[in-house]
């Protein structure tokens, strides 16, 4: 047996690497298949590997060791190499017989009472014992280590009246380790619980272990949902992949449970109420089941395509945000921008973090368009190359009209994808015109004009950006390469910056209000 630390503190270098358990010595399992080791370890994720030799396959499992944890138990089911019937074995040799302690009790309204004079039958239907006054019996059997033995109990008959109890059965595995113990008992124990006549069901616990097999390794699956046959959730596994749930099933009848987990294919198991399933010495009506899940098709990267609703053309540079929908719009998980094809991509890790109750949320925004927030179902994010299309609607604004800002008047004409405008200062010192392309509520413009006063004449030009919102236009105007004529000529002619604000690179901002 070998132990490997696969995650942990950087200071634990001495604990890393493959090394034998128990300080470099080995220990063979006893007749019950149990071996105990003492070793120095550190909190973190560990991997245990058991080599099965020439007869069995190698067993691998991972588990978490937490701070302060004193012991840990590993149950290993080694698979035979080839058909088990062809393997050489001494399991049927030297069987001297083992004692099995049988206890028969009746259960009514949650209380158990001994059932005396109950007849006990073995696998073949032969009567092997009768319980005493305390509802107990002890018999010797010669079943092999590891075999599953089913015993059946029938209540004593009462002439002229219905029996008080219903027949029942229970199973045990010869020599199996008992749950919660580190060693195997040399004798076997089984309890058979009989339901009362007319009783239709019995509430009892079911111990569940959920594991997964991926890349040849077994791993425990946390947060797996345990469901009944009708799809009702019974419980969720803990960090060790274990859960104890309560089932209500007629005694002796079969029922099904299902395990589901993200990134794993669901699996179902059928059990019989009161029949032990996994090799743990049982108490009747307290079953155990283990699931081994196979990987499902992993969630791939999700491509979000953002298009204009009217033109159906891609919107390059749109902002796409991925949210976990625990509020509106949610907690931001990732944000990116669309490429020239209007596409934004989120990886599987981000998608997994964003999923809540089977859905994530996406928001797309783009200048001049109404933003869109959409909820995306998890089933739309699976497959080889899942895609989701978001259409954004362009904001239609009314630009044309007369606008005022302080002592300036601006007249705007046109609409749709292009507009023109003229501006004039009230005293006539400054006037000009511009032409703009429009996307939504934003206009990108080129302009030219003329400034005149007693000291100078300036032929102006530049660029501008205008953003409309209702009855207001915000403008940012950038001065370009102007030409100057100062009166009289001066040094300002070669360097106008000290003499006027109207020089290259100067930014003027303002707000125009629609004149009504």
- The tokens describing 348, both together, are 């599987």
Per-residue pLDDT of the chain (516 residues; tens, 9 = 90+): 555 545 443 333 333 334 444 344 456 676 556 776 666 666 666 677 777 665 677 777 776 666 666 666 676 767 666 544 433 444 444 356 788 899 998 877 657 789 999 999 987 888 999 999 999 999 988 777 777 788 889 888 877 777 788 888 877 777 765 443 444 567 888 888 787 766 555 677 889 999 998 777 888 998 899 999 888 999 999 888 999 888 887 766 778 999 998 778 899 998 877 654 433 333 345 788 999 998 876 556 889 999 988 888 999 999 999 999 999 999 999 999 999 999 999 988 788 889 888 889 999 999 878 899 999 988 787 766 788 999 998 877 889 999 999 999 999 998 878 999 999 999 999 999 999 999 878 999 999 999 999 889 999 999 999 999 888 999 999 999 999 998 888 888 888 888 899 999 999 999 999 998
What is the DSSP secondary-structure string of 329-387? S-EEEEEEE--TTSEEEE-HHHHHHH-BTTEEEEEEE-TTB--EEEEEEGGGS-SSS-E
Which DSSP symbol is given to 93?
Answer: S
Cis peptide before 488 (omega within 30 of 0): yes
pTM for the structure as a whole: 0.34
Q: Give the burial class of 330: count Cβ atoms within 10 A of its Cβ; 0-12 exposed, 13-18 middle, 19 or more buried.
A: buried
Contact call for residues 406 and 452 (beta carbons, < 8 A): no
Q: How far apart are CA 191 and CA 177, in angstroms?
A: 16
Contact call for residues 473 and 466 (beta carbons, < 8 A): yes
Q: How far apart are CA 123 and CA 137, in angstroms?
A: 17
The pLDDT score that the predictor gives to residue 157 is 81
Helix, strand counts (H, E) of the chain: 1, 36
CA-to-CA dists, residue 87 to 142, 385, 502, angstroms: 21, 47, 97
Q: To which H or E segment does residue 454 belong? A: none
Q: How far apart are CA 390 and CA 341, in angstroms?
A: 13
What is the DSSP secondary-structure string of 166-216? --EEEEEETTPPPTT-SS--SSEEEEEEEEBTT---EEEEEEEEEEEEETT
The pLDDT score that the predictor gives to residue 30 is 63
Q: To which H or E segment does residue 138 belong? A: strand 136-141
The pLDDT score that the predictor gives to residue 147 is 76
334 alpha-carbon distance from chain centroid = 16
Cis peptide before 329 (omega within 30 of 0): yes
Q: Give the burial class of 57: count Cβ atoms within 10 A of its Cβ; 0-12 exposed, 13-18 middle, 19 or more buried.
A: middle
Q: How far apart are CA 181 and CA 217, in angstroms?
A: 26
Q: How far apart are CA 273 and CA 255, in angstroms?
A: 7
Give the list of residues 6+ apart from residue 394 with CB closer than 8 angstroms, or none: 308, 309, 310, 368, 369, 370, 439, 440
Classify strands 188-195 and 98-108 as parallel, antiparallel or unpaired. Answer: parallel
Q: How far apart are CA 278 and CA 178, in angstroms?
A: 11
**Residue whose entry in the numeric block shows the structure tokens 């209007």:** 342
Instruction: Single out the residue of 464, 409, 471, 401 nearest to residue 437, CA to CA.
Output: 464
């Amino acid at each position: 047996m070998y132990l490997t630390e696969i995650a942990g503190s950087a200071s634990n270098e001495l604990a890393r690497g493959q090394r034998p358990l128990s300080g470099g010595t080995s220990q063979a399992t006893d007749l019950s298949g149990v071996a105990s080791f003492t070793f120095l370890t550190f909190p973190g994720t560990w991997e245990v590997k058991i080599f099965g030799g020439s007869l069995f396959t190698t067993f691998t499992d991972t588990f978490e060791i937490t701070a302060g944890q004193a012991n840990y138990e590993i149950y290993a089911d080694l698979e035979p190499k080839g058909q088990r019937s062809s393997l050489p074995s001494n399991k049927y040799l030297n069987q001297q017989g083992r004692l099995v302690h049988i206890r028969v009790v009746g259960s009514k309204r949650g209380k158990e009472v001994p059932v005396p004079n109950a007849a006990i039958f073995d696998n073949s239907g032969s009567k092997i014992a009768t319980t005493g006054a305390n509802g107990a019996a002890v018999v010797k059997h010669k079943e092999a280590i590891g075999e599953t033995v089913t015993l059946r109990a029938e209540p004593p008959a009462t002439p002229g009246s219905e029996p008080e109890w219903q027949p029942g059965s229970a199973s045990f595995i010869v020599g199996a380790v008992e749950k919660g113990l580190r060693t195997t008992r040399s004798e076997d124990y089984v309890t058979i619980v009989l339901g009362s006549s007319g009783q239709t069901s019995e509430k009892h616990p079911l111990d569940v272990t959920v594991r997964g097999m991926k890349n040849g390794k077994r791993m425990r699956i946390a947060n797996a949902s345990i469901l009944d046959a009708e799809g009702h959730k019974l419980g969720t596994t803990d960090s060790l992949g274990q859960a104890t749930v309560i089932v209500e099933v007629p005694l002796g009848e079969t029922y099904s449970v299902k395990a589901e987990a993200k990134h794993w294919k669901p699996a179902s198991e059928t059990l019989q109420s009161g029949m032990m399933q996994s090799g743990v010495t049982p108490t009747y009506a307290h079953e155990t089941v283990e699931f081994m899940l196979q990987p499902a098709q992993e969630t791939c990267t999700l491509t979000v395509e953002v298009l204009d609703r009217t033109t159906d053309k891609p919107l390059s540079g749109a902002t796409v945000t991925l949210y976990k929908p625990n509020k509106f719009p949610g907690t931001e998980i990732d944000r990116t921008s669309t490429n020239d094809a209007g596409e934004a991509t989120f990886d599987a890790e981000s998608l997994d973090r964003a999923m809540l109750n089977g859905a994530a949320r996406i928001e797309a925004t783009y200048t001049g368009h109404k933003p869109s927030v959409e909820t995306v179902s998890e089933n739309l994010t699976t497959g080889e190359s899942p895609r989701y299309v978001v259409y954004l609607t362009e904001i239609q604004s009314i630009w044309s009209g007369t606008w005022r800002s302080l002592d300036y008047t601006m007249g705007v004409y046109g609409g749709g994808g292009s507009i023109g405008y003229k501006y004039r200062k009230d005293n006539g010192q400054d006037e000009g015109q511009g032409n703009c392309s429009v996307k939504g509520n934003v206009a990108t413009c080129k302009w030219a004009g003329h400034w005149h006063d007693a000291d100078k004449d300036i032929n102006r030009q530049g660029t501008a950006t205008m953003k409309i919102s209702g009855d207001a236009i915000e403008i940012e105007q950038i001065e370009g390469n102007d030409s100057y004529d100062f009166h009289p000529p001066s040094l300002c002619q070669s360097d106008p910056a000290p003499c006027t604000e109207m020089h290259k690179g100067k930014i003027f901002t303002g707000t125009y209000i629609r004149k009504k």
